[in-house]
Structures are given as structure tokens and as C-alpha cells.
Structure 1
Amino acid sequence: MFHSKWKKKALATFLTLIVPTAALGSEDYQQLITQARKGNTQPALTWFSQHPDLDENKLADWLQIASWSGQDKQVIEIYNRYQHKSLPLRGYAAVAKAYRNTQQWQHALNLWHALYEKDPVNKDYLRGEILTLADSGKYDVALEKIKALNQHAPDNKNILIEAYIYKISGRYEDELLTITRAMSFSSALAPQSEQYLNALQNNFLPEAVLSRTDEHSVSPTVRVDAAAKLVRLSAMPTRTEKERYNIADRALALYEGMFKEWKDKPEYAASYQRARTDRLGALVSRERNKEAIAEYQRMTDEGLTLPEYARYWVATAYLKDHQPKQAEAIMSALFYQEDGEINTLSMEEKADLFYSHIESEHFTPAQVLTEKMVRTTPAYRSMQGSPAQLPNDEWLQGYQLMSSLVRYGNDLPQAEKITYDLASKAPGNQGLRIDYASVLLARGLPRAAEDELKKAEVIEPANLTLEIEQAYTAMTLQEWNQAKLLTEDAVKRHPENEAVKRLQRANDIHQLSELRIGGSVGLDSEGPDSGKHDTSLSSVIYSPPLATNYRAFAGYGFSHSRFSEGKGNVRDWLGGVEWRSRDNWMEAELSGRNFNHKTKTGARVSGWHDFNDHWRIGYEGERLSRRTPLRAMKNDITANSGLINVRWYQNERREYGSSFSYLDFSDGNHRYEYSLEGKERIWTAPSLLVDVQPALYYGRNTKADTPYFNPEESFDIVGTVQANHLIWRNYDKSWTQEISGSVGNAWQKNYGNGMISQLSYGQRISWNDVADVGATLRWEKRPYDGEREHNVTVEFDMTFKF
């Protein structure tokens, strides 16, 4: 049965040729036939139904006019009633058409075949048989017959029928090719013809349809298809970001025009609904994710059910808008079967599903997904017709996701191993080299990362991901000018890219002022060193960067405690300059220290120098040192100090440092202190890190019988286990808790050994890289002059950038 205007027009074209042109009797009868030819068939059909005694020609007229009016069942009924009569061939042709339209294929074929045998000159009978064969699904036989007919009797109608066969058999490319060939030698087929426009649309070329006709003259389906194709193109990862944005903008402009015309018009309801749905994809491609989410929520509130592809767009928008739990819920419903198996997904869908799990802090499903990809995907694939083995992109994606998984899970050694193996096996793959450098940077090895990025730069210097990673590396190395230039270039080239926006934010944060506050409050203390009810506070505010490497700072602090000889109070006002450059950091400070109702001027110079990623040397010299015990200052004793330290850093899992300090007290005492401390990570999980921190300390003083705690010699050995647990995290926001316990031994000359024990519990909140606040409750018990005494203290620190 015909289901389109094209099909009916094709039949009408050749059936019209077999309508007799001779006079049909009386003038009134002729008038009825003339009206029927013009489309007004009802008067003639009424007349025929009232005159059952008809001759063969009038019966043929009745059959034809009933056929024109689309009353196929009536045609067959009339034929069955009068089949004892011998009708003109045109009458049988109308019956054959009716059989065909009602899918009575064999009856139709029998009639068409008989008609062609009686009148082989009339090729329309053979064409009717061929069309019926095609409609019945015998495409190959129909194609063979129409090609043979066209070879012996070339005709434009033959080519159109060939195109029709290709169309209904789903061979749309051949349909378009056939019609295009026909247009080359037939003026009846113009670029605006219905057949050609339909062929373009069948080949998903709606934009070509619009380019050949007025936008408002085509069907709403064509307009929606044209915009939908732009949406699909805008999501293709092979295009540049600028191209994708331009294509998405074109689609959005088309949708705006449709909405203005179709809104609140019931006849366009279906097309309007589809346009709203497809527009979500254009918004996501254009990085207008909040708009996409808001539109989705409006559609949901209206009770509309979106198709799966649109819900995936919405999930992508949620993921890009840092709402991973909503994205995960949608994607899990779309991609997981009831038995937990994962549906067949594209590479992009797998990546989005993976990151929806990871960024929702659900590592188990991310691990299951990734391990299945790695386990079931071969490294090479075969292409049909080629003996060569080709690299499998899905295998590579599986290992890249695996490196991201272990990196999110804090297993950076495994992440480094995976990315190094991939980068070394594919030295021409710039992206793998950048991934490796990114892991090195995360491990605290910025110079090694810089070297890898330099190697990657040879392949494509203008690569955006490369430029972003180079900018972060430059910031870590305190190469502020380089970081600024790289950031400015990335923003200029791709201002709307999410990664570029994050880089711009990091650069903007570097330009902020900074406030640091720290202190402690003694809740219960028995020690002679800190006194009772001791309190300390320090605060420093830094200016935004000045002349690239400099910051000015000013601060205030105080210390207070009670001793047997009275209260001790010290207040400090300070100001200075900080200098930060590659491999170096330094501060120079002047201070006014107020104690015992007088103020003295102090000074400090501190700094460090990095020789490479692993070795650092630090130094400090201070007049009226803040390392002077408060009890000494209560007794009007001050000290100047000097310090030098060396740090060896392997990576985030292991580091050791040693230091030597010297205090020169105004009472003639000289204090020498040596320390060695380190860190070894013994446990790693996505939300838990456990470190062992060994520490050694040796101190010696040259004077005894001082009013402050001043052991002649002392030696401490302490081992600490510290666990850091992630309670909650959402991108740059996190809430953690820290528990530590220490056990050790303290030896003091003339007093022997005693046990050191310590427990602490703290929490910390970090917010958007501009606020970091922590507080810790600490209990400690250790010997002083042979007596074990305890201290309970609350310590806190805060950093704000504004």
C-alpha cells in the first residue's frame, strides 16, 4: 500500500495515461467524468451506485474513479460483482492497483502480468507489476526488471521507479544517486522537486533541503531534522572547540526561529516538542549547561518524558556543572541492565559514566567498569579486508581511565606506572605524554613534569591541553610570568572551555590577598615549659603580588601563659616582604616585640632553595627570636636564633629532613638542637591515607639553673602513626578528619628515661581553594626533669584568600 504522496503521484502519473480520451456518451455523463478528473469524484460515484446496469466502459470508469478517490475496497467489491464481464484494460489496471494497495500481492501481480501480455506496448502495466514486486518485498527481482526495462525502453519514469525501490528497501544512498542521475537529463526533475528533496531528507541531508527551498515552505520535520543534524555535528570530538561552538550556535538560532513560529500552536505540538528536546544537545555542546538543566527541569515539571539520547545530554550537563550525583543517577538508569551488566556504550559514554562514578566518590562501580574494559578489550583490532593489526582506541581508553581511577584513589605510583608505560610505547602520542606529566606534577615532581611537557611540545606546540598543563606546572615552580602568559593565551584562544576557566581561576586566586591565622589554647597543662592556661595567636596578611615575585605582609601576634612567678605576655607587630621565584623563597621581616612593659625591635630572614625536585635547603636567622621560651621572656631573657635544614623528598609517599638550630640567650646560655624526621606512607585508599612519621631530637644547653626549662642534654625518639580520612568531597570542597598517635622515649641527662605518649584528633575544611580551616585537640604526656606531666591543647589554623 502506498504510504506517501510520492508513491501516489507515481501511480497517478502512469494510470492517467490509460484513461480513454474518446467521448463518453451523454453530455451530463461527460460532465461527471470531467469533474472526477479534477478531483471531485463523489458526484460520479453517487451516479454509478444508482445505475447498476452499466456497460463495460462505464464499469471501467467506475473502477477508475473509485480508485482515484482512494476507495480500494470498493474497487475490489465492484470488480467481484461484475467479474463475469469483459472490461477494458484500464478497468483491470484500477483493480490491480487496488489489490496492490490492500497488499493482496499475488492478485495484483496476476492482473498486471495479464495486462502486459495483452498490451506489451503499454509499459505502465509492466511498471505496475514491478512496483507491486517491490512493495511485496521482492526488491532484487523488481530492480532486475526495471533495469532491464530501462535498457530496452529508456524513460525517466523507469529511473524514478528504480529510485523508489531503493527507497523502500532502505538503500537511501542509491536512491539519491539514481535521482541525481535522472536530473542530469530530465528537466522534469529540478533541484526543488519533491522526489529529490525527499531523497535528500532520507539521506539525513535536511540542510540541503533547506538550502534548495524556502525555510517556511518545507515541512516542520525537515526543519527539525536540519537543526538536529547540526546538534549531532556539534558534539563530534574530531572538530575543534571553536567549530563545535559555531555549529551549536547555528542550531540554537534555528530553534529560536521555530519556537517563535510554533509555540502555543497545537498543529505544531509534536515538532515543537522534538525541537525543545534536541535543543538540549545544542546547549550542552555550547557549554550552556545550567540552561540545559533548567530546561530539562521545566520539561519534567510539565510531565514530558525525554528519550534516552536527551537524558544522556542532561546527564552530561549535570556532570559538567559539577553535579555528579545527578549525572550518575541518570546514566546508571540508562546504561546498566537489571542484572548489573553494562549496555554496549560508545567511548564517550563510557568516559562520562566513569567520571560520574568517580566524581560522586563511588569508586567501586568505577573500578568494575574500568576493569571490565581492560579485561575484555584487545590491544589491537582487525579491519575487514586488511591483514594489518590496528591499535584499538577502546583499549587505550580503558588504560587511561584506569590511570585516572588509581589517581583518584591516591595510588599515584600505579598511576605513574600506567601513564609511563603508555607514553613510552607511543612516543608520538602527545596526550599520553601530557597524562604522564600530570601524574608527575601530582606527585610533587614539577621539574620532571616540565621536562615531559617539553618533549610533548615538539609534537604540537599549540595544543590546548599541553598549554594548560604547562601553566599549572609553571605555577608550582613559581614561574609566575610564564604561568600568566600561558593562561592569557589559553583564555584568548578558548575562553569558554571548562579547563581554561579552571586555569583562569587558579591564576586569579594567585592574584588575591591572603590572610593566615594560627594559634593554640592550653586547656590543661602541668608542664614547666608552657605554663598554665597558655594561649598563642599569630596572624599575617599578605598583599596581592607586587612586581610579579614580591608580596608585602604585616601581622600581629601574642602569647600568654601563667607561671609560678606570674603572668607572661608577649605582643608582636610585624611587617616585611616576601619574595617568590623559581627554586627560591625568602622573607625579610622587622618586628616590634612588646614584653615586660617595653618594646624591642626584632628582625628575621627566612628562606629556602630547591636544587631539584628532591633536595631543598632552608635557612633562618632571627633577632629576638620567636623560638625563645615565653617563660624566658617573662624573666627578661631574650634570644637570637639561627637555623639550617635539609629536606630530601622522593615523592608524596616518602620524605626525610634534618635540621640544626642555635639559640643565643641573653643570659649567656647557648642552646644547640638537632633533629631528624621523616614520613613513610603505609596505607592508601580512596578516602584514607596512613603515614608513619619517625622523629629524632637531640638538644644541649650550656648553662644550668635558668628560670626557664633548660635541660643540660636531652634526646627524644618518637614514632607517630597518622591517619587522614576524607569525610566528604565535592571537587574543590572537602572535609577531612585526622587522627594520630605517638609513642616514644625521652632521655634527659641526670633524670634518665621516660615514655612519651601523644594522641590527637582534628578536622579540616577546604573550600574552593580560597579557604582552609582546621582545628586539632591534642593530648600529650612526657617527662620534665624526670616527672611525667601532661598537656591538653587545642590548635587551630586558618587561611583565607580574598
Structure 2
Amino acid sequence: MAAAAGSSPDLPRVTGRDVRDGLLARAEAARKAERFAEALGIYQHLLAADPRDDVAYRMQAITLADLGAAYRADELRRRQPADFADWQRDRIEGDRVARMIGWGMAYPENADDPNAELRRAYDALLELKARPDRTQWEQTRLRMDALTALNALGRYQETVDEYEALVREGVDLPAYAHGPAGDSYLALHRPEDAQEALEKAVALNPSDVDTRILLAYAYLEQERFDRALPMMRELVASQPAWIERAGVEMDQANWKRFRAEMAYGQMISFGDDNARAQEIIEPLVRIAPNRAGTQAAMGALMYRRGHPTQALERYDMALTLDPRERDAEIGRVSALYEIGEIDAAMDANRQVQSRYPKDLHAQRLQKEIWLRNGPMGRIGWVKGRNDAETAAGSPFGIEDHRFNFETWTPLLKNRWRVGIVGDTVDAHFQPDTVRYRRIGGALDYRHGKFGFRLSSYNVDEPNKDDAWTVDAGWFLSDTWTLRAQVAENDVDTSLQARRAGIQADSASLMASWRPNDLGAIDMRIKHLRYDDGNERDQLSAFGRWRLYTSPHLMIDGLGSLWLSRGSRDDAPYFNPSRDAMATVGVRFNHLIWRRYDAYLRQRLELQAGPYWQEGFGTKWVPSVAYRHEWRPALGHTFEYGVSWAKPVYDGGRERRIAFELAYRWGF
């Protein structure tokens, strides 16, 4: 006799109850061994023999749910609801909602409303929760599934509130409930609580790579690089690059390792070691160049390395691959700002804010835009004490002060700012004090690669006068910047010269070379023309290069070269006919603490080098500086410190101690 339609030829014909019962027992054993496909085949074989077999029908639906076919399982349940117990009904309906949540977190159907499917899934969950006939366990399960939905919808406080309620009630939570809670704690800037939740999730499911990555981020946000980075190294090492599959000629790429290695590289970059991060991420980009997230990660790294143009190229590549790549959309805004394309940046930000109105990364971007476009300024103060060995005294007097400020309006028409600027410089000589004080207005413009600033001042002391400065800048590339400045009544005129009633105009050319975040060289040529006919030329170069990088300590090597000459030998102020100085040094930059945008850094600089002055020979000049940089909140930064040096003037050494304080606001 031919087998019934849908039956398996490998299974015995169902000729009686004993054969049926034996097949049901065989299917149950397969289910217990988690061979669900085998069990499903047996149930379908039984139904082919007898479509009215309620046990086979019911178990077919339950097994489909086990295989993840929750929609099909619930469709079968609804056809014959009487065949299912309440707990079976609840479980299948719960599985369907859980599957809806999972699909809602996948690639959205509608880019303009990416959370539409997820909201529908959450609404379906709430509908099930509202039914009074659900079992207590399924009610609890729905609450746990709600954690995933709420977290994915960005409703982080609600996620945490529900999670903490479940914990208080003593519910034995599975790993998948701890994970969304940990992510929500991170979003709410509560990394200690996130760590506790994620450690529970990892303990329950150690093989979950993504949760272990999230746990590493929880350590990272507590500045525990010493725990996060070794953990990530171990995770990467634990994942083979390829997965062998029995009976298949080609191995399968292990994308869990890829994600772990990418996260490891990004975490290293967050510790300021961008060069090593690039060594890790660049090969990953070559492995998966068509992954939008990979290109976006490379763009973020290029931005941190000081290459906004290259970052923008990577972001555009990511958005070509996937127009809905959120990280690329957000990163692109900052890169456009850095290259001066403010109009395009504003348009891009409007799209980000409309597409991700409740996303925390988008909200942080908006704060950055407010700071970039908003008012900004700086106030600085320096006080120096000078003890000279010679009777002529120091060119800075016994004591000197400098106070300067600038405050700027918000950005106007994406190009302009108007500011109020001023300086006060004084030096106390024996027996008098010389003071230069000016205040004025300024106009600043930048668009694309070009920018200029015009400042005009009224001078109150030492005489009523005028002063002005014109600055222009040309941003040639991510690496090179050229600047020029012309000043009348230059603020840097020697106070000894002002004491004699002499002032100076100046012209300068500057170039900056910044190949990456590890180093830079700033070069300058300046010509000063004094009222007494003296022509003074200065040439200088200052460089730094990173010698050592760790998450909380960076060490830079420093170097400088200074050359100058004057055209007069009889000037009534310090005016070497020729002099030169070269220094080498080291800077220790230590992060004392950091909590998200707030931090406190300390810097120690040690420098020394020979100073030569024509007619007076060569002497070594040492200097030490210790400073703090304190940012209590984004947009507010304080710098303060003390410096000590033993410069030489006309062969006479002096000891100089200076105290400084500055505050800047805005971006």
C-alpha cells in the first residue's frame, strides 16, 4: 500500500495504536535531545496518516515554536484552540510576540520610521499582558520580553524600572533579561549597575559574545581599561576565525570573532592608542569592505586621528552601502564641521534628528552642535615673578601680568561671529610700571578651507592709540594649515620698548603640519618693525611626537628651535643682534579621573636646551611646567598651573616663576 501524502518513507506505516504510540514516544525522545526537526517529521508523518490526531497536531505546533517558527505555530493553534491547554496557548502566543520583537529589531521596512514594527510588537505584548486568563509564569515571561522591546525602543528608564521590579520580586531572571537591562544602565550613564547586570548575563550564558562585549564597555565607562582590554583580548582569542562544518568543503567565516575584534580595536582607540587601533581595524575593513558598520568604524577612527576629510570619505562609503547606517550619519556631521562645510553639516544634522529623535547618540550630537554654533570664548591670566642677576634686570621687570579675553556671539548665517576682545599686559620695573591695555571688537569668518579674523582695538594705556590685527587661515588638507597675520601696535611689543615710548607693527607667516594624532610641528616667521627703526626677525619651530600611549598616560617628546636677529645694537630694550635657542623635552599627560564628558588631567613638562646670544656666548636654559586641565562638564574647561625657568638675557641669568589660569567655554 502506498504511503499517505506527507508521510516519511523512513518511518513505519501507522497501522495501529501501538505503532502510533511508539512514534509519539520516539518523537518525544527526539524533542528531549533537542532534535526538533526529527520530531517534527514524525508528527507530520502521524498527521498524514490521521489528520484528526489531536496529540500530533498539538505537538507539531509546539515543536514548530521550538524551531523558531512562532508565527506558523500560532496559526495552527488558532485553527484548533481546543486542542491546547492554557499554558500551551500562552507559551505559543508569547513565542509569537518574542519573535515579533526580534524581527522589529532587524533591518526596518520603513527608513523614516525604523521602530514601527517594534512598536507593533510591544503593543501586541501589552495586549497579551492585559488578558486576565494568562498563567503567572507567562505574565512574568512577558515582563522579561518587555525588557528587550523597551531597551530597543530607547525607553531606557522604563527598562531599568521593570528590571529592578523583577529583581525585587525575586524572579529568577534568564540571561536574555539581564542583557537589555545592562545596556539601558549604560545608556543612563550608570556603568556600575550595568556591570552587575551584565556579569549575571555572562555567568548564565558565557558563549554570548555580544553580551561579553557589552560588559567590556561597562568596565570601560568606569575607566577600567585594565579589565576591559584583557577581557577583549581573551574573547578574540577564544573565537576561531573560521568554523568547520562537517560534510562541507568550505569553512564558514566566524562573524562573532569579527565583531569581537572590531570592538577590541575601538576600545583601544577610546584609550587614545589610535595607531594600534588602526593596525587592528584596517585588516577588518579589508575582510569586510562591504559592511557599512565597518566603514563607519574606520571613519570614526580617522576622525580621532585628526583626518576629517578621510573620515568623511569612509562615512560616505558606509552610507552608500546602507543609507540607514546611524553611526555614519552621526559621524558625518562632525566631520563636515571640521572641514568648514557648515551648511552641509546642519542639513545632515537635521536629518539625523528627524530620523533618530530619541536616540542618545543623536541627542549627544545635538549638544555638540549647540556648542559649535553657540557662544564661545576664553579668559586667561598669567602672573610672573622674575629675579635677575644683572643690574639691568629682566626684560619683564620684577613682576609681570597678562590678562586677555575674547567672547563671541553664536554662529551667524553659518559663517560669521562677532566678538569682543581685549588684552592687558604690564610689567613692574624699578621704579615704574608699564601697562599696555586695549579693548575692541572683532569679526570672524570661516567657510570651507578659508577663514579670516579682523580685530580693531582702542588702546587706553600707555597712551591713547589704536591697534588692529588681521588673521587669515587656509586649511590645505587634514595635514597642512597655513596662516598669515598682520598687526599694527602688536600686543607682543617689548614692554621695555613701550617704557621708552616705542611700539611695533608686525607681519607673520605660520604653517602647521599634523600628520596624525601622534605628532605635530608648528612653524612661524615673524617680522617686527619698531618705531625707532629697528627691524626684528624671528623664526621658530615647535614640535611634539608621541613616545608612549596608554589609556591614562601619554608621553610626548618635545623639541623646539628659535632664531632671531635685530637691526640695531643701541635699542633701549632687550634686542640681541643675533640669538638662537634649541630645546628638547618630554611631556607627561596623565588622566587623573574621567566620568563621561567630565575629566581632570595633569601635565608635567620638562625642557632644556642651549641659548646662544651674539657677544655673550652660550648657556643652558632649563624649564619645568605643571598644569591641570579640568572639564567639569561639556563646554566648560579650566586650565591652571605653575611654571619655572632660568632664562638668560645679555649673559645674565634670571629665575622666573609664573602662575596661570584660563577658562574657556563653548566647543
What interval of TM-score do these two structures reach, taking the shorter chain for normalisation?
A: 0.7 to 0.9
Where is the helix percentage greater, Structure 1 or Structure 2?
A: 1
State the distance in 2 between where 1:435 and 1:175 align.
35
Equivalent position of 1:746 in the other structure: 611
Of 637, 651, 655 in structure 1, the residue corresponding to residue 516 of structure 2 is 651
CA–CA distance in 2 between the matches of 1:618 and 1:411? 30
Match of 1:432 in 2: 294
Structure-2 change in CA distance of 1:706 and 1:308 (3 Å): same
Aligned with 1:421 (options 283, 286, 291):
283
Q: Secondary structure at the match of 1:483?
A: helix
Output one character per residue of 1:400-453: Cα deviation in whole Å (capped at 9) or x when no partner: 122113212322122223322222343323332232222222111222233344
Relative to its length, the structure with more strand (as a share) is: 2
Amino acid at match of 2:376: E
Deviation, 1:599, is: 1.6
Shift of 1:545: 1.0
**Which aligned pairs between 1:538-553 and structure 2 lie closer than 5 A?**
538-553=404-419
Q: CA deviation at 1:331?
A: 1.6
**AA matched with 2:221:** E
* Distance (whole Å) between structure 2 residues aligned to residue 175 and residue 601 of structure 1: 82
State the TM-score, normalizing by the size of structure 1. 0.72
Aligned to 1:486: 348
Deviation string for 1:436-485 (max 9, x for gaps)?
A: 22222211122223334444454344543332232221111111011111
- C-alpha offsets along residues 96-138 of structure 1, whole Å, 9 cap, x if unaligned? xxxxxxxxxxxxxxxxxxxxxxxxxxx99x7499659957998
C-alpha distance in 1, partners of 2:69/2:146? 30
Indicate conservation of the 8 Å contact 1:160/1:179, yes or no.
Answer: no
TM-score (norm 2): 0.86
State the distance in 2 between where 1:718 and 1:603 align.
33
Instruction: Assess if the C-alpha contact under 8 Å between 1:595 and 1:633 holds in 2.
Output: no
Counterpart selection for 2:79 from 177, 188, 191: 191
Q: 1:238 to 1:349 in 2, by over 3 A?
A: farther
**Does 2:33 match 1:163?**
no
Q: Tell me the distance in 1 between the aligned counterparts of 2:349 and 2:300.
A: 17
* 1:246 is the counterpart of 2:116: yes
Equivalent residue, structure 2, for 1:616: 481
Structure 1 residue 593 displacement after superposition: 1.3
Alpha-carbon separation, structure 2, partners of 1:149 and 1:579:
81
Tell me if the contact between 1:732 and 1:769 (Cα under 8 Å) persists in the aligned partners: yes
Please say if 1:472 is aligned against 2:339.
no
3-state SS of paired residue (2:600): strand
Q: How many residues are matched?
A: 642
Question: What code does the residue aligned with 2:621 have?
Answer: I
TM superposition shift of 1:584: 2.0
Separation in 1 of the partners of 2:568 and 2:47? Answer: 119
Aligned residues of 1:777 and 1:793 also touching (Cα < 8 A)? yes
Give the Cα–Cα distance (whole angstroms) in 1 for the partners of residues 119 and 335 of structure 2: 34
Note the C-alpha offset of 1:539. Answer: 0.8
- Summarize the Cα distance change of 1:588–1:494 in structure 2 as closer, same or farther, 3 Å threshold: same
- Return 429-438 or 673-682, whichever deviates more: 429-438
Residue 516 of structure 1: aligned partner: 378
Please identify, of 537-546 and 323-332, the stretch whose mean Cα deviation from structure 2 is larger.
Answer: 323-332
Q: Which residue of 2 aligns with 1:366?
A: 228
Given that 2:443 and 2:453 are in contact with CA atoms closer than 8 Å, whether structure 1 keeps it comes out as yes
Structure-2 change in CA distance of 1:128 and 1:387 (3 Å): closer
Give 1:674 deviation, angstroms: 1.0
The answer for the alignment partner of 2:148 in structure 1 is 281
2:588 paired with 1:700 = no
For residues 358 and 464 of structure 1, the distance between their equivalents in structure 2, rounded to whole angstroms, comes to 22
Asked if structure 1 preserves the Cα contact closer than 8 Å seen for 2:315 and 2:329, the reply is: no
Shift of the alpha carbon at 1:230?
4.2
The CA distance in 2 between the partners of 1:783 and 1:663, in whole Å, is 22
Residues of 2 paired with 1:143 and 1:695: CA distance? 78
Aligned CA distance change for structure 1 residues 272 and 336 (closer, same or farther; 3 Å): closer
Q: What is the deviation of 1:695?
A: 0.6
Aligned residue number for residue 36 of structure 2: none
Q: Distance in 1 between matches of 2:447 and 2:259?
A: 38
2:538 aligned residue (661, 673, 678): 673
Question: Hey, what does 1:709 align to over in structure 2?
Answer: 574
Residue 369 of structure 2 corresponds to residue 499 of structure 1: no
Mapping 1:305-704, distance limit 5 Å: 306-336=173-203, 344-383=206-245, 385-461=247-323, 463-523=325-385, 525-526=387-388, 528-596=394-462, 598-704=463-569
Counterpart contact for 2:582–2:609, Cα < 8 Å: yes
> Which string of whole-angstrom CA distances, capped at 9 and with x for unpartnered residues, describes residues 186-235 of structure 1?
xxx98253216879848x641xxxxxxxxxxxxxxxxx666555444444
Matches of 2:59 and 2:325, distance apart in 1: 49
Worse overlay, 507-516 or 170-179 = 170-179
CA distance change for structure 1 residues 698 and 482 in 2, over 3 Å: closer, same or farther?
same
* Unaligned residue ranges in structure 2 (runs of 5+): 1-13, 31-38
Residues 230 and 387 from structure 1, CA distance in 2 versus in 1: closer, same or farther, beyond 3 angstroms?
Answer: same
Bigger mean CA deviation after superposition, 126-135 or 511-520? 126-135
For the 8 Å contact 2:566–2:576, the answer to whether it is kept is yes
Q: Which residue of 2 aligns with 1:42?
A: none
Say if 1:239 and 1:379 are closer, same or farther in 2 by CA, change over 3 A: farther
Specify the code of the residue in structure 2 equivalent to 1:532: I
432-441 or 732-741, which moves further after superposition?
432-441
Q: Secondary structure at the match of 1:292?
A: helix
Same amino acid, percent of matched pairs: 21
572-581 or 705-714, which deviates more: 705-714
8 Å Cα contact 2:24-2:43 kept in structure 1: no
DSSP-derived class of the 1:509 partner: helix
The answer as to 2:620 corresponding to 1:758 is no
Aligned CA RMSD, in angstroms, stands at: 3.8
Structure 1 position 395, deviation (Å): 2.3
For 2:526 and 2:557, the matched residues in 1 are separated by: 25
Q: Which has the larger radius of gyration?
A: 1
Instruction: Indicate conservation of the 8 Å contact 1:172/1:199, yes or no.
Output: no
CA offset at residue 310 of structure 1?
Answer: 2.2
CA contact (8 A) 2:600 2:629 kept: yes
Asked whether the 8 Å contact 1:756–1:780 carries over to 2, the reply is yes
Cα gap change, 1:234 to 1:656, in 2 (>3 Å): same
